Chains A and B, each alone.
Chain A
């Protein structure tokens, strides 16, 4: 009879193996030019989500039976050189288990929904490959015991997100918005990579234990100096801001609505958009060690909540309105984390994820729902009035705080101008030295 630790190991392996095998089967078949049939893809996705959910529930049950607050499973060094170790370590605790269960549960439900919603859609197989990649990324990021493992999951979520935004790739707008989101992710993810490198330099490893102590969440205590806590924490806040669409990165969230409704629901209503908040929850001991950082987190969270609330009021399509509503709630969750709470933001996160997913999948039926409501009420639903001073607020909200415009004008445009000038100079010098005319077109539309 295997002992409880062995059983935990097996269950943890299933938690990770289920989405991994799904990616391998769906992705491998596509790569080989033999995509899995529609029905099989949907069924496999259901099985993977079900198996993962059951295994995660099993670990939760074991923890409740044994009274353990966390289960740490080490699979050894994934990479080891004399000067560098990258451990594969999974951490199941009161933070990661709810997130994993949420991921498998919502992905299972949305997978079932998508199987019908995208029936006979030309990109059906592509959707499920990316959905599998997303599930793997979410699970990996949730149970990561090291910052590198979290980063791996983080990036998988980001890539699947960008590619699903561009799902309807026969039109330019989805491609443009998918690229925009990718740029925001990559810029903010730089902060996560630097944080991982700094953590390695300061503690000798990327383990969260080395940064936050070995006490189970949320009882951890930062083991680094206040300055290091501020540095690493600020870098992680930047990364979280990018992923969770916190100010000033909120502008990408409505652009993400180009993707199909199932992915909008599970990514931007439920899971992906909360990953930044999850990261801040995971490193919450850093906030305790650096009050300045905590203040910054609260400020960013509240600013996002206020801004997104205003913006959501003026949107003219339901998915954009819901996306800003999501951002507002995520802002509140982040502010709660900054204040020093742990379980309230976690419960808030789970409740919001479930509620928003429902709203997103109901979104295509919005007009029908409104008509039914108006039939029941016997008249039109009341609209808003206008008061003095609201016009400028309306304008600010409609322009989404001018955030995207400011980023475009003060960050993107100068960079592109400088890079194009350098490229033009490069070509001219090459043509002069080589004695040739420059043969290639110089102007490109902004992508």
Chain B
């Protein structure tokens, strides 16, 4: 059994995805592309789960393995694969002809490879992150949407990241290198004022692409793998401070949004900001909180994005300017949205509760105003998500001449994520313990308890 788990499953997953992308991109039948993507992403989820099992059971890894998981990434890899899989599963038939499954599989391969990139080879990680940043740009071009805003930001991200890492590799000014990488991280995470591209992707690309751009948390991965090893504590505090301010600002913006996709973008920026604030705090408790928030945002944004995507598939783009009354035609989507959205704001019984408690606790240890900012951001986010819920799903009746109930695929996707939200919320110790161990691996044992 141990020998089986030592097989390089993550390498196989990425390879499968690469081959699957070619197969899905072959021909012009969207239904066929969907089936290929479903099979391949399902396989990828299975293979990444085996990779996690292998790590958890200490099975070792074959020498031939290129990609590796560690304490940080072992659970994140199958979680990311799950979000991709559910994005495929929940794609409505009406969306299939517009949504590129081949590009989804390429994006997934790049994401999983980035997570599995060995820490000794940061240059490869830089390459994968830069390549991954191109995915939403390609889609914008295909949809004939103006890519300038996104291109400028992600181009800046690429330049800063490559420049900073090159400086590190060349043994140059470490502080300057760290500053460049920090700036790159801030852009990629979408910290205010570099958040515009996230909203632009959300508004102009497909909702599925928007979800997959933010949910896996690649900006946070860059922070952990590339920034933490080189940045002095003072720079990390600046990053953490900016991230916290950004989280609060984005949460405030979320409360007044008039468009569902911009709301999603604001929530993504806010949650990512909170996670980055924890990671940048430099204390074991803070980094644990940041990692816990990372898991929370992946699950929550995945769930919120997919339910809203399903709602859009029925009703088109949804402005948050009047009541829609969509609960009665689609109660499962309403409940799924509510459960996943509440997870992101730290509601008890959901995955985000412990993350929120850890974050508040770590912030109070540093300074009471920081805790106030973090708690205020969570409160504003919760107001924003309930506002969206009431506007979208209540307030009026929505008569329809055609059936609008959820399809089995959508129901499975929503149930899977809602189930994950509640399971990780009710039994948090196993996954929180892994986050704590991963944090100690970064900051050292006993640092900042």
Contact = CB atoms under 8 A, between A and B. Distances in A.
Given A83-B288, A183-B383, A201-B365, A433 B252 contact: no
B262 interface: yes
Nearest to B391: A447
Contacts of A200: 361, 364
A86 B371 CA distance: 18
Nearest to A431: B149
B411 A33 contact: yes
Contacts of B429: 77-80
Interface in B357-402: 357-358, 360-361, 363-365, 368, 371-372, 375-376, 378-379, 382-383, 386-387, 390-391, 393-397
B353 interface: yes
Interface stretch (A5-13, A168-176, A313-321): A168-176
Given A31-B418, A33-B332, A441-B319, A186 B347 contact: no
Nearest to A140: B348
The 4 closest A-B pairs by CB, nearest first: A434-B149, A83-B449, A169-B394, A152-B348
A13 to B, nearest CB: 15
B257 interface: yes
Given A81-B436, A179-B386, 16 more contacts: A31-B415, A83-B283, A83-B288, A152-B348, A169-B393, A175-B390, A175-B394, A178-B390, A182-B382, A182-B383, A190-B375, A190-B379, A198-B368, A423-B256, A435-B146, A444-B256
Interface stretch (B16-24, B68-76, B322-330): B322-330
Contacts of B372: 190, 194
B397 A423 contact: no
A311 to B, nearest CB: 26
Contacts of B436: 81-82
B232 interface: no
Given A197-B360, A440-B203, A83 B284 contact: yes
Contact of B321 (A31, A148, A439, A445): A445
Interface residues of A, number: 67
A182 to B, nearest CB: 5
B11 interface: no
Contact of A166 (B335, B365, B390, B446): B390
Nearest to B359: A197
Given A156-B348, A175-B390, A194-B372, A170 B396 contact: yes
Contacts, number: 191
B163 interface: no
B258 A78 contact: no
B38 interface: no
Interface stretch (A43-51, A271-279, A288-296, A414-422): A414-422
Contacts of A447: 387, 390-391
A117 to B, nearest CB: 21
B445 A82 contact: yes
A426 B199 CA distance: 10
Interface of B: 146, 148-150, 152, 196, 199-200, 203, 249, 252-253, 255-259, 262, 283-285, 288, 319-323, 325, 327-328, 331-332, 335-336, 342, 347-349, 353-354, 356-358, 360-361, 363-365, 368, 371-372, 375-376, 378-379, 382-383, 386-387, 390-391, 393-397, 406, 411, 415, 418, 428-429, 432-433, 435-436, 440, 445-446, 448-449
10 contacts: A31-B336, A81-B285, A82-B436, A175-B391, A187-B379, A196-B357, A196-B360, A197-B361, A440-B319, A444-B319
A155 B288 CA distance: 24
Given A193-B375, A423-B257, A152 B432 contact: no
B357 A434 contact: no
A113 interface: no
B383 A186 contact: yes
Given A79-B428, A435-B146, A447-B390, A441 B200 contact: no
A151 B356 CA distance: 12
A64 interface: no
A200 B321 CA distance: 42
A176 B378 CA distance: 21
A440 B394 contact: no
A162 interface: yes
Contacts of B418: 31
A186 B382 contact: yes
A159 interface: yes
A120 interface: no
A170 B390 contact: no
Q: Max chain A CB contacts within 10 Å: which of B325, B361, B364, B378?
A: B361
B258 A422 contact: no
Nearest to A442: B258
B251 to A, nearest CB: 10
A33 B414 CA distance: 12
Q: Which residue, of A156, A430, A445, has the highest number of chain B Cβ atoms within 10 A?
A: A430
B325 A169 contact: yes
B360 A194 contact: yes
Interface string A252-281: 000000000000000000000000000000
Contacts of B150: 434
A336 interface: no
A86 B425 CA distance: 13
Interface in A1-53: 30-33
B358 A84 contact: yes
B347 A155 contact: yes
B357 A443 contact: no
A443 B321 contact: yes
A156 B349 contact: yes
Given A186-B379, A422-B249, A84 B285 contact: yes
Contacts of A443: 258, 321
A373 interface: no
Given A175-B390, A182-B386, A447-B387, A426 B353 contact: no
B363 A197 contact: yes
B348 A155 contact: yes
Contacts of B361: 84, 197, 200-201
A436 B428 CA distance: 45
A207 interface: no
Contacts of B257: 423
Contacts of A215: none
B137 to A, nearest CB: 13
B257 to A, nearest CB: 7
